[in-house]
């Protein structure tokens, strides 16, 4: 969308008389012809020449405007902010006003948090504000770039959500950038898992709210339950005006006005189809024996003869022999498993639990509870569970107390959710591979942003050995050599199990190190803070792959910087690139290498 079009529609991005108390897009129902045309446009968009020349012209104007601000005192800056706020409400997000806002925000950041936006960050912020996805290389300062778009929109009265992938980053970024926002007269809040309903509502009432994609999506689902059948904007406005009880006061959010999505490829692509299910617990203790019996029956079946497993599709299929074997087993007349369809469904789920879900890779057992692990981030998901009895079957497999089943109250996917924002922008270091999908699904154009400084990241030759034991030996040898050079090392592993196995080998070899995985997520900030120290060795899962800025201690850059070792491959090469992007940030030196074995689950 052009800047002039955005300016004319700014009123529609704010809650009010015209847009309603809860602005959001209607659910898109594209015709197949429109979908096909959009998909073709997406493919063409991936080859489109970036509009960097236009961005450079905008940056030149921002710098020109910024020169006028350097001599202003605090009171004069405040008067300028108030006037800009009035102009935004009168004229919308016009190009001249946005240029003034960017210059003001940049100068305010320099004075309050002692950080000055680079030209590349100005370009990134401008792209996000105008509904694009800024592809900025890892380490280029996306967090600071986002403040430009967020603060400009907030100055125009648009409720803004800055969305990132984990709560560590939510709290860190809201606190780090809070002083800048407050100096601009804006309120900032954040939402985390443990917050009460009132605390969440207060956070969303702020001008700018930091939150994870999970928290904001579930809070939106809760609002939909409050809204009930009154989905029509006019109905809600009439109820607000004339009803005895105004339900809009019960809402957590103020609508879906503008979102800036950090690590957008992870949220919008990798998790696009993830079902978000709002549930409540129901008593299902009568079913517990059925789950245990299903697991018992599954253990009696023979792989190949009675069932087949497809590891790639995560599907289990009973053979005719397996179905007959189950039918011949003597069961209580009252057992629900007397029903062939129910019996085969639960036994297939039990086989899934036994053979496709692995402890310390797919889940942890913590205090006799099964806790899921997010494969993309390596983090635990304590509030999520598998459906259709799979959760209880895994609990039975691990000898844990069985949890009660949950009744579904509401459901949607991230793809459905983010398509409902009136304005959507984003940022990531790895979008080029999925640019056509981002356009065809979300109408998000990828804008590549040039580097602030030339990259000094060095790629070392890949090492591939026959077996995993040889791989770990190669890793240990590399660590010893790098520590001798006073360089820190970050080792990426594919699972909690692998990280702990490597940790044991490092301990046996007398190499001090720290481990960052789903078990140590509470110590993340402390572990990351020391990961750039001389000779420091850090073993991590995908937790260290996104949004993690590892500061280099004094002298480390002179020694060659951080070295990253990947010991496994991810299904998406973008995730591998995120890990490698932990080194050589902001023009610092650094290097990376893959050390793999032929028996790895994913090699090429």
pLDDT at 109: 98
The mean pLDDT of 459-466, rounded to a whole number, is: 95
The whole-chain average pLDDT of the chain stands at 88
pLDDT, tens digit (0-9, with 9 covering 90-100), for 397-416: 999 999 988 778 888 999 99
On whether the CB atoms of residues 224 and 177 are closer than 8 A, the answer is no
Phi-psi region of 369 (alpha: psi -120 to 50; beta: other; left: phi over 0): beta
Within 8 A by CB and 6+ apart from 229, the residues are: none
pLDDT, tens digit (0-9, with 9 covering 90-100), for 474-483: 999 999 999 9
pLDDT at 239: 54
Which residue would you say has higher pLDDT here, 547 or 169? 169
Within 8 A by CB and 6+ apart from 26, the residues are: 420
* CA triple 252-264-428, angle to 5 deg: 135
pLDDT at 178: 97
DSSP-H helix ranges across 260-409: 264-265, 288-300, 320-328, 340-355, 390-397
For the chain, state the CA radius of gyration. Answer: 26
pLDDT at 47: 47
pLDDT band at 37 (very low <50, low <70, confident <90, very high): low
The mean pLDDT of 95-106, rounded to a whole number, is: 97
pLDDT at 602: 67
Percent of the chain topping pLDDT 70: 88
Q: Is 286 exposed, middle or buried (0-12, 13-18, 19+ CB in 10 A)?
A: exposed
Q: Is 522 exposed, middle or buried (0-12, 13-18, 19+ CB in 10 A)?
A: exposed
Kindly tell me if the per-residue pLDDT of 38 is higher than 60.
Answer: no
On whether the CB atoms of residues 506 and 579 are closer than 8 A, the answer is no
The mean pLDDT of 373-392, rounded to a whole number, is: 86
Q: What is the DSSP letter of 266?
A: I
pLDDT, tens digit (0-9, with 9 covering 90-100), for 383-402: 788 988 999 999 999 999 99
- Look at residues 562, 71, 6 and name the one whose alpha carbon lies nearest to residue 257: 6
* Full DSSP string of 472-487: HHHHHHHHHHHHHTT-
Per-residue tokens: 87? 């102009």
442 SS3 class: helix
Domains in the chain, CATH or no CATH each = 3-271+413-448 (3.40.50.300), 283-404 (3.90.1440.10), 456-597 (3.40.50.300)
The mean pLDDT of 141-169, rounded to a whole number, is: 95
On whether the CB atoms of residues 161 and 23 are closer than 8 A, the answer is no
Which of 227-236, 323-332, 362-371 shows the lowest mean pLDDT across its residues?
227-236
The mean pLDDT of 29-39, rounded to a whole number, is: 54
pLDDT, tens digit (0-9, with 9 covering 90-100), for 234-259: 555 555 544 555 566 789 999 999 99
The Cα 548–Cα 112 span in angstroms is 23
Terminal-residue alpha carbon distance, the chain? 39
DSSP-H helix ranges across 485-541: 496-508, 524-530
Which residue would you say has higher pLDDT here, 139 or 520? 139
On whether the CB atoms of residues 143 and 176 are closer than 8 A, the answer is yes
Which of 94-108, 219-233, 239-253 shows the lowest mean pLDDT across its residues?
239-253
Q: pTM (2 decimals)?
A: 0.81
CA dist 254 → 12, 147, 174, 205, 472 (Å): 13, 20, 19, 7, 52
Count of positions (residues) in the chain: 604
Kindly tell me if the per-residue pLDDT of 150 is higher than 70.
Answer: yes
| Torsions phi, psi for 433 (to 5 deg) | -70, -25
pLDDT band at 454 (very low <50, low <70, confident <90, very high): confident
pLDDT at 500: 92
The 3-class secondary structure across 376-392, one letter per residue, is: CCCCEECCCCCCCCHHH
pLDDT band at 18 (very low <50, low <70, confident <90, very high): confident
pLDDT, tens digit (0-9, with 9 covering 90-100), for 520-547: 766 887 888 899 999 999 999 876 656 6
pLDDT, tens digit (0-9, with 9 covering 90-100), for 308-329: 998 778 889 999 999 999 988 7
* CA triple 153-157-160, angle to 5 deg: 50
On whether the CB atoms of residues 524 and 599 are closer than 8 A, the answer is no
Kindly tell me if the per-residue pLDDT of 86 is higher than 70.
Answer: yes
Q: In which residue are the tokens 């940056």 written?
A: 59
Which residue would you say has higher pLDDT here, 551 or 510? 510
Which of 261-270, 360-369, 559-568, 579-588 shows the lowest mean pLDDT across its residues?
579-588
pLDDT, tens digit (0-9, with 9 covering 90-100), for 41-69: 555 554 454 567 789 999 999 999 999 99
| Torsions phi, psi for 296 (to 5 deg) | -60, -45
Per-residue tokens: 510? 């007398």
The Cα 416–Cα 138 span in angstroms is 28
Phi-psi region of 521 (alpha: psi -120 to 50; beta: other; left: phi over 0): alpha
The Cα 310–Cα 323 span in angstroms is 18
pLDDT at 512: 96
* CA triple 357-362-366, angle to 5 deg: 110
Percent of the chain topping pLDDT 90: 62
């Amino acid at each position: 969308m052009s800047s002039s079009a955005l300016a004319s529609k700014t009123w529609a991005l704010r809650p009010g008389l015209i847009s309603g108390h809860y602005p959001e897009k209607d659910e898109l129902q594209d015709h197949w012809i429109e979908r096909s045309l959009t998909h073709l446009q997406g493919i063409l968009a991936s080859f489109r020449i970036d509009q960097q020349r236009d961005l450079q012209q905008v940056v030149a104007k921002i710098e020109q405007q910024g020169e006028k601000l350097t001599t202003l005192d605090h009171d004069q800056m405040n008067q300028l902010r108030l006037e800009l706020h009035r102009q935004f409400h009168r004229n919308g997000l016009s190009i001249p006003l946005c240029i003034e806002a960017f210059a003001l925000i940049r100068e305010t950041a320099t004075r309050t948090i002692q950080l000055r936006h680079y030209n590349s960050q100005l370009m990134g912020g401008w792209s996000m504000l105008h509904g694009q996805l800024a592809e900025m290389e890892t380490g280029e300062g996306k967090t600071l770039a986002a403040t430009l778009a967020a603060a400009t929109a907030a100055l125009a009265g648009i409720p803004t959500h800055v969305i990132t992938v984990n709560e560590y980053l939510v709290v860190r970024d809201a606190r780090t950038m809070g002083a800048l926002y407050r100096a601009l007269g804006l309120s900032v809040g954040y939402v985390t898992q443990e917050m009460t309903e009132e605390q969440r509502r207060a956070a969303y009432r702020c001008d700018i709210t930091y939150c994870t994609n999970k928290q904001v999506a579930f809070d939106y689902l809760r609002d939909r339950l409050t809204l009930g059948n009154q989905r029509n904007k006019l109905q809600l406005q009439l109820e607000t005006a004339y009803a005895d009880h105004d339900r809009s006061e019960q809402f957590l959010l103020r609508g879906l006005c503008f979102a800036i999505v950090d690590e957008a490829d992870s949220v919008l692509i990798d998790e696009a189809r993830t079902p978000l299910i709002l549930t409540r617990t129901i008593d299902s203790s009568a079913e517990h024996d059925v789950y245990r019996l299903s697991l018992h029956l599954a253990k009696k079946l023979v792989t190949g003869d009675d069932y087949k497993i497809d590891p790639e599709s995560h599907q289990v299929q009973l053979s005719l022999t397996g179905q007959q074997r189950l039918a011949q087993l003597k069961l209580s007349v009252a057992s629900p498993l007397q029903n062939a369809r129910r019996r085969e469904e639960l036994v297939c789920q039990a086989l899934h639990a036994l053979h496709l879900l692995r402890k310390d890779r797919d889940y942890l057992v913590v205090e006799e509870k099964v806790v899921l692990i997010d494969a993309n981030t390596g983090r635990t998901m304590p509030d999520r569970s598998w459906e259709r009895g799979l959760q209880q079957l895994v609990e039975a497999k691990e000898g844990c107390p069985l949890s009660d089943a949950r009744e579904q109250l509401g459901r949607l996917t991230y793809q459905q959710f983010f398509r409902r924002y009136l304005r959507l922008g984003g940022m990531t270091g790895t979008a080029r591979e999925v640019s056509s999908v981002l356009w065809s699904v979300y109408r998000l154009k990828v804008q590549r942003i040039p580097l602030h400084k030339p990259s000094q990241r060095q790629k070392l030759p890949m090492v591939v050995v026959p077996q995993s034991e040889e791989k770990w030996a190669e890793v240990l040898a590399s660590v010893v050599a790098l520590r001798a050079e006073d360089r820190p090392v970050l080792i990426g592993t594919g699972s909690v199990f692998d990280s702990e196995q490597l940790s044991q080998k490092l301990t046996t070899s007398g190499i001090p190190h720290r481990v960052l995985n789903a078990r140590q997520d509470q110590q993340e900030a402390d572990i990351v803070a020391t990961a750039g120290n001389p000779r420091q060795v850090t073993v991590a899962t995908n937790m260290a792959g996104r949004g993690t800025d590892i500061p280099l201690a004094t002298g480390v850059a002179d020694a060659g910087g951080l070295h990253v070792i990947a010991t496994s491959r991810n299904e998406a090469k973008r995730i591998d690139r995120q890990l490698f992007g932990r080194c050589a940030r902001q023009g610092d030196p650094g290097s990376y290498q893959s050390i793999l074995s032929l028996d790895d689950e994913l090699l090429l």
